[in-house]
Structures are given as structure tokens and as C-alpha cells.
């Protein structure tokens, strides 16, 4: 039996674990995990007209407008070999972007990982990162072996400066307002797959694999 090719987006609020689930899923299905941030940086590095506009909006700390994001994504996605499937992370971020993407590169699965705001805040506040090797720890769920030190390279761990209670709540509000309506958009197309992100990582992944199998996606 020939399995369907996975053409997916994975989304959810910060702290939902979509990065981890995206990596696990990409490994299992042997497809690329395509991060919108990487594509953005690639366009900036090329110094194109779009790249220059992107650089401006990044340095302003503002979200880039849909037209710019869509332009960059459509150009960058064409440079990749996505013929065996893919998982997008970080794009689309709103319904207008999703509508555009469906025209140029139709998805057949949209994975949403749901967690409460309280869980998101708790997880993000307990997050620490190694500034040297970028490994991320959670003081509550995945602490380093030695307190305050990276288990891999021994560097002193730091908290992201934008991980404060206020900024986290602002980012969550933006998510609810801007990105969460994607659930309705994809549900109407019959391709939404909802996961309970409150569970431990292996349980979420197990759920994901089972639900994908029901839709005919078998790794
Ligand atoms: Zn490290």
C-alpha cells in the first residue's frame, strides 16, 4: 500500500512543544521540517529586494506584513525539494497567509497543539537556554544535570530576556487573535488534527501518529 505524502503545517501557542513534535514527526516520516524563520533569514542573506524589506521589519521588531511574508515564502519554498512531503513550522501565521499557501502549495494536514495560557506561561517562565550550544532546558520538565549549567557543554544557562510574564501574555494574545483562527480554516477543509499538548512529549507524539494513521498517513 502506498502511503499518502505528508504536506503539513504544525502550529500552536509558544510553549506547546511544536518544535519538538515537528522534529519527531520529520524524523519518523523522513521529510524536511521547514522553519519559516530559516527561510526568512535565507532571503535576507541573499540581499534581494524582499530580503531588504524583511530585514527592515525584523529590525523594527514588528511582524512583517502578509504580502511580504507570502512573497518570501513562495520564493523560498520553490528552492526546496518538497516532492516527498514536508512539515512547515512558523508559516502560515494567519488565515490570509493560509489562503495564499493553499493556492501555491496545498496542505493535506494541519496539526494544532493546544495548551492553556497558564501552561504556556509556566513552561516559558521555566525555560532556560545554553547561550553556547543553544540547547533548551525546562527547570520543571527537563532540567539540566547540574543546576544552572548546560549538560552538554557546561556553559551557564540563561533565561531569554523576552520571556517575562508580560511579554509572554502579549505573545499569547497575538496568537489567539491572529493564528488560532487557522483551526477554523483548516477544520472547514477537513484537514485539522487537534492534539492535547498538556500531556508529556511521548504521549502527544503517540496521539499524533495514531491520528495521522487514521487519515492514511503511515510512516
Ligand atoms: Zn551548551
In tens, the pLDDT along 21-79 reads: 999 999 999 999 999 999 999 999 999 999 999 899 888 877 889 999 999 999 999 99
Do 111 and 19 touch, CB atoms closer than 8 A?
no
pLDDT surpasses 70 at 159:
yes
Average of pLDDT values for 194-219? Answer: 95
Query: What's the mean pLDDT in 154-159?
Result: 95
Helix then strand count (H, E) for the chain reads 9, 7
Separation of 144 CA from ligand 1 center, angstroms?
A: 10
pLDDT tens for 162-172 read 788 999 999 99
Taking only the tens place, the pLDDT of each residue in 95-128 is 999 999 999 999 999 999 999 999 999 999 999 9
Asked whether the bond before 92 is cis by omega within 30 degrees of 0, the reply is yes
Q: Are 17 and 113 in contact (CB under 8 A)?
A: yes
Burial-class residue 11 by CB neighbours within 10 Å (0-12, 13-18, 19+).
buried
Q: Which domains, and CATH codes, for the chain?
A: 7-32+82-214 (3.40.50.300)
3-state SS, residue 8: strand
Asked whether 104 and 134 are in contact (CB, 8 A), the reply is no
Distance 39 CA to ligand 1 centre (A): 25
Q: Is 28 one of the catalytic residues?
A: no
Q: What value does the mean pLDDT of the chain take?
A: 94
CB contact at 8 A, 219 and 138: no
Is-catalytic flag, 127?
yes
CA of 58 relative to ligand 1 center, distance in Å: 26
Amino acid at each position: 500500500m502506498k502511503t499518502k505524502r505528508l504536506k503539513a503545517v504544525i502550529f500552536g501557542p509558544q510553549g506547546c512543544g511544536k518544535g519538538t513534535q515537528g522534529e519527531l514527526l520529520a524524523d519518523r516520516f523522513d521529510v524536511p521540517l521547514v522553519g519559516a524563520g530559516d527561510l526568512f533569514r535565507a532571503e535576507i542573506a541573499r540581499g534581494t529586494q524582499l530580503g531588504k524589506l524583511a530585514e527592515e521589519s525584523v529590525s523594527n521588531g514588528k511582524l512583517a506584513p502578509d504580502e511580504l511574508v507570502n512573497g518570501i515564502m513562495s520564493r523560498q519554498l520553490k528552492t526546496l525539494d518538497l516532492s516527498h512531503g514536508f512539515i512547515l513550522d512558523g508559516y502560515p501565521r494567519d488565515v490570509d497567509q493560509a489562503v495564499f499557501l493553499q493556492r501555491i502549495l496545498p496542505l493535506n494536514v494541519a496539526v494544532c497543539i493546544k495548551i492553556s495560557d497558564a501552561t504556556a506561561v509556566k513552561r516559558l517562565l521555566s525555560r532556560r537556554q545554553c547561550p553556547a550550544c543553544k540547547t533548551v532546558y525546562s527547570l520543571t520538565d527537563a532540567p539540566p544535570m547540574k543546576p544552572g549549567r548546560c549538560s552538554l557543554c557546561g556553559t551557564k544557562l540563561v533565561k531569554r530576556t523576552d520571556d517575562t510574564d508580560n511579554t509572554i501574555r502579549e505573545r499569547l494574545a497575538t496568537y489567539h487573535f491572529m493564528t488560532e483562527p487557522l483551526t477554523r480554516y483548516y477544520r472547514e477543509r477537513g484537514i485539522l488534527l487537534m492534539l492535547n499538548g498538556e500531556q508529556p512529549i511521548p504521549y502527544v507524539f503517540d496521539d499524533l501518529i495514531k491520528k495521522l494513521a487514521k487519515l492514511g498517513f503511515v510512516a
